[in-house]
Chains A and B, each alone.
Chain A
Amino acid sequence: MQDARVGCWALFKVFSHMAMQGFGGVLPFAYRHLVERTQWLTAAEFGQLLSIAQLLPGPTICNLSVMVGQRYAGAAGGFSALAGLLLGPFFIVIALGAAYQELAHHPLFVSAMRGMAAAASGLILATALKLAVGMLRGPAQESPAAADTGGLDVARTLFWRRVVQVALLVAAFIGLGVAKVGLITVVATLVPIGFLLFAFVWRKP
């Protein structure tokens, strides 16, 4: 997997290629390029790096690019991959921004942007929904096997884990979206609470 032939320029090219294809999200293209085309990562490695990239702060796809780049060419590789990911799209969004400013006084354009913005927030909502459904389904799939071995305790733990998950979800939504207490307050309060509950009280059975 450690391939000496993968240098900074190759990293830059592959990541800029996937970024420029990534209309509506780069991640699916990241899989195609890193696992299927270049075979720099196996599917399992991709999954592992992705889950770490999500745990760390910052944009997930940027974190992934830095980790992959670093693996092949150190810190310079990390920044090469990141630069490839951002450079082309950077100029494209600014071109769009310039077009926006040109047209901003056009009533038709303003209403079109309003519809676009509503659809874009719907897309964020869909991501939230996918995360929530994946989370609530997870324990249910494990429970039949777990119930055979652990019995009632396991079922009770799974129940309370779910209650806590839903409570955290609702608290995070209200904190960030409705009460607007700010991201830092939400994260600094709810992450430790959730972590302590899942690490000590209701551990994954």
Chain B
Amino acid sequence: MNDDVKLGGLAWHLAVLSLTAIGGGVVLVAPDVHHYVSVQNHWLTDEQFAAMYALAQAAPGPNLLFVTLIGWMIKGWLGAVVVTLAAIVPSSCLVLALGTVINRHGGGEGRWAGALRDALAPLAAGMLAGAAWTFLSVAGAGWRGIVLALAAAAAAYATKLNPLWLIALGALAGAIGLV
């Protein structure tokens, strides 16, 4: 917990970012949030930041909750609530505003939506890989961490294994000193 944290600044930052995160889900905000909370403000160490995402991934519910954990780590319950609301309320209001139109007319099929979808698919893939790279480089696991991540990626890609098992295997590999 940190007394000189400006929660408003973090909330505003997250609100803007979550409105920018299109095509790939909330994990896309990770590189910017890392820069803000760890590099610029030193509220969390790199290792803590990477651990927050891993914990959110291990818990049930949307992975968006990693920002909740970051808020909680730096400003307790108030931080958790404010940061969560900042990340979901603006985008949800946008969805509600558009939803009236979508429910009435349908949507997502026309030429413009098609072109947008065509553009977002490769960008989402590239940005997700960029976010994964950010986590890897801040997790402090070195080249063996990279090997473990690639192995987990291959297993998740090729099998229908529940991701939770891969997280648990990762923890085990870390605990016995492989990473």
Q: Which positions in A face B, CB cutoff 8 Å?
A: 19-26, 48, 51-63, 66-67, 70-71, 75, 78-79, 82, 85-86, 88-90, 92-94, 96-97, 100-101, 104, 108, 110-132, 134-135, 161, 164-166, 168-178, 180, 182-184, 186-188, 190-191, 193-195, 197-199, 203-204
Q: Are A173 and B130 in contact (CB under 8 A)?
A: yes
Contacts of A134 in B (CB 8 A): 121
Q: Are A86 and B131 in contact (CB under 8 A)?
A: no
Q: Are B23 and A54 in contact (CB under 8 A)?
A: yes
Binary flags per residue of B118-139, CB closer than 8 Å to A gives 1, else 0: 1111111111111111111001
User: A117-B54, A183-B20 in contact; A93/B106 too (CB < 8 A)?
Assistant: no
User: A62-B92, A121-B149 in contact; A173/B108 too (CB < 8 A)?
Assistant: no
Q: Are A116 and B130 in contact (CB under 8 A)?
A: no
Contacts of B24 in A (CB 8 A): 131
CA distance A81 to B84 in the complex (A): 16
Beta-carbon nearest neighbor of A25 in chain B: B163
Out of A120, A168, A177, which one reaches B129, CB within 8 Å? A177
Q: Are B61 and A93 in contact (CB under 8 A)?
A: yes
Q: Are A166 and B178 in contact (CB under 8 A)?
A: no
Q: Are A92 and B59 in contact (CB under 8 A)?
A: yes
Decide if B53 is an interface residue (CB 8 Å cutoff). Answer: yes
User: A120-B170, A166-B122 in contact; A56/B51 too (CB < 8 A)?
Assistant: no
Contacts of A79 in B (CB 8 A): 92
Q: Nearest chain B CB to A75's CB is how many angstroms away?
A: 5
Q: Are B59 and A114 in contact (CB under 8 A)?
A: no
Q: Are A85 and B61 in contact (CB under 8 A)?
A: yes
Q: Nearest chain A CB to B56's CB is how many angstroms away?
A: 6
Q: How many residues of B contact A (CB 8 A)?
A: 115
Q: Are A19 and B62 in contact (CB under 8 A)?
A: yes
Binary flags per residue of B90-124, CB closer than 8 Å to A gives 1, else 0: 11101110111011001110011111111111111
User: A78-B92, A123-B153, A131-B121 in contact; A114/B62 too (CB < 8 A)?
Assistant: no
Contacts of B56 in A (CB 8 A): 93
User: A57-B22, A71-B103, A115-B172 in contact; A120/B60 too (CB < 8 A)?
Assistant: no
Q: Is the interface of A mostly helix, strand, loop or mixed?
A: helix
Decide if B25 is an interface residue (CB 8 Å cutoff). Answer: yes
Contacts of B100 in A (CB 8 A): 70
Contacts of B88 in A (CB 8 A): 58-59, 62, 82, 86
Decide if B65 is an interface residue (CB 8 Å cutoff). Answer: yes
Q: Are A135 and B174 in contact (CB under 8 A)?
A: no
Q: Are B135 and A124 in contact (CB under 8 A)?
A: yes
Q: Are B47 and A114 in contact (CB under 8 A)?
A: yes
Interface centre among B54, B58, B98 (most CB of A within 10 A): B54
Beta-carbon nearest neighbor of B27 in chain A: A124
Q: Are B177 and A173 in contact (CB under 8 A)?
A: no
Q: Are B61 and A121 in contact (CB under 8 A)?
A: no
Q: Which residues B1-59 have CB closer than 8 A to chain A?
A: 16-29, 31-32, 35, 47-48, 50-59
Interface centre among A96, A135, A175, A182 (most CB of B within 10 A): A96
Out of B57, B123, B154, which one reaches A168, CB within 8 Å? B123
CA distance A19 to B26 in the complex (A): 16
Contacts of B78 in A (CB 8 A): none
Q: Are B153 and A86 in contact (CB under 8 A)?
A: no
Beta-carbon nearest neighbor of A51 in chain B: B108
Q: Are A94 and B69 in contact (CB under 8 A)?
A: yes
